[in-house]
Amino acid sequence: MPRLVVIGGDAAGMSAASAVRRLAPEAEVVVLERGHDTSYSACGVPYWIAGDIDSDGDLVARSAAEHRERGIDLRLGAEATAVDVAARTVSYRTDDGEREVAWDRLVVATGARSVLPDLPNIDAGGVHTVKDLVDGRRIIEALTHAPQRAVVVGSGYIGIELAEALVARGLEVTVVEQSATPLPIVEDEIGHVIADAMRAKGVQLVTGAQVTGFSAEDGRVTAVRTAADQYPADLVIAAFGVVPRSELLDVEKGAKGGIVTDAQQRVPGLEDVWAAGDCVVTKDRLTGELVHLPLGTHANKQGLVTGESVAASLGAAWSGREFQGVVQTAITKFCDLEIARAGLGRAAAQAAGFEVVTASVDTTTSAGYYPGAEPMTLWGIADRSSRRLLGVQVAGGSGAGLRIDAAALALWSGLTVDELVMTDLAYAPPFSSVWSPVQVLARSLAKALTA
């Protein structure tokens, strides 16, 4: 009986394991998970902390018991420490000591870890990262001690979402960001809208400031320090970003050290080894560059592709499915402000060699005369020579965020701005102006291209 060993029991790993269990039932499937949670939504953790979700159990899509009922040998508290490709074994550590398991097929789905720079007192009590359910439990427990002042270091997706969560919990919140505007992955035109929304909710937003360390007393954090000032804190969210957990494989690495794979998630140069999820890099369809994009959407798709590819290697019929890259679509919110982006920003487009034009428009989430219409700002970028759409970013009220899906599909398909203008999109006054907001933006880009 062939044995598949999967390292990692969250989105990518369990998607792969479940696909192999379904498509190649004769195979033995062993999953090693370093923690004690499986198949959960890490993206839901900020909303659990905010109180929008009742418990961590609500974030679990499939429990360990359910996976085991489906015939998967799931081993919790089993941390993989080494992969011997020649011997086809994985060494792993448990509370009972060191162990080893042999494999015929191997999937590495080890995810990513939070970045913690070497700063004074970063290990003090009260400094938290937000990557998984364990982190969420620690913050929920910390909130039971009634902290008054929180500082969020970094205003990427996690930073913004945790700022919202802590505002909802009634804390005084300061956000420290080294870039000029929050959520630096978006352009300043959108960043300023986000900044205004954060300040309107009482957040002290400090931009252009790099954290130099943390003050602590009796082992607990008391303040976050920058070169110019310090900000008192009973609780700190360290949102410095994440990097891939890719050290188990000695292979070609891409952005941030992510594992390079082919379109079936195979690891080139290693026979019968696949990798998927936050530990890998993937191709940006607009530039061809390999990027690290740790999102649950990609992890689940890559896990499915991996499982189908592994099953095919064991004799099952192959679906023909491959992971065909990304256009870097993402969405989040801060309180009532929805924020989304897809494609390239100005700097990335120029670095890729495009001759770019940009445009921004202010519109509304529904027909301007319809009750409840809310402001909405869109920014876009296109290539001058081909007139191809390269990127769209959105910030606005209810209904603004999911406008990005139309833009993402246009980017995926390589549409020009002129083609997007004439695309058949839905219209009725409660949902849109007669020209969809993304088409209003596309018309502005078309005018800029002919100027």
**Domain locations along the chain:** 3-112+243-313, 116-238, 338-450
pLDDT of 339 strictly over 90: yes
The pLDDT of residue 432 is 94
Residues 139, 141, 142, 147, CA torsion sign: positive
Residue 272: pLDDT over 90: yes
When pLDDT is cut at 50, 70 and 90, the band that residue 451 belongs to is confident
- Which tokens hold the place of 336? 């009532």
Q: What are phi and psi of 279, to 5 degrees?
A: -90, 0
The predicted pLDDT at position 197 comes to: 98
d(CA 54, CA 67): 23
Both tokens of residue 273? 């080894």
Query: What's the pLDDT at 278?
Result: 98
Pairing of strands 330-334, 337-343: antiparallel
Contacts (Cβ under 8 Å, ≥6 apart) of 371: none
Res. 351: pLDDT tops 90: yes
Q: What is the rounded average pLDDT for all residues in the chain?
A: 97
The mean per-residue pLDDT over the stretch 232-244 comes to: 97
CATH of 116-238, one of 3.50.50.60, 3.30.530.80, 1.10.3470.10, 3.40.50.620: 3.50.50.60
Q: Which fold has domain 3-112+243-313?
A: FAD/NAD(P)-binding domain (3.50.50)
Residue 67 — very low, low, confident or very high, per pLDDT cuts 50/70/90? Answer: very high
Q: Which residues are tagged catalytic?
A: 43
Cβ neighbors of 147 (< 8 A, separation 6 or more) are 126, 171, 234, 235
Residue ranges of the alpha helices (H) in 24-129?
Answer: 45-50, 64-69
212 Cβ neighbours under 8 A, 6+ residues apart: 119, 120, 225, 226, 227
* pLDDT reading at 142 higher than 90: yes
pLDDT per residue over 154-177, tens digit each? 999 999 999 999 999 999 999 999
- Pairwise CA distance, residues 436 & 441, whole Å: 9
- Give the distance from CA 335 to its chain's centroid: 19
Mean pLDDT score, 396-404: 97
Task: Indicate the pTM of the whole model.
Answer: 0.95
- Per-residue pLDDT, 336: 97
Alpha helices in 188-315 (DSSP H): 188-200, 296-313
Instruction: Specify the pLDDT at position 289.
Output: 97
CATH code, 338-450: 3.30.390.30
Domains 3-112+243-313 and 338-450 share a fold: no
pLDDT for the residue 196 = 98
The arithmetic mean of pLDDT across residues 308-312, rounded, is 98
Tens of pLDDT, residues 402-431:
999 999 999 999 999 999 999 999 999 999
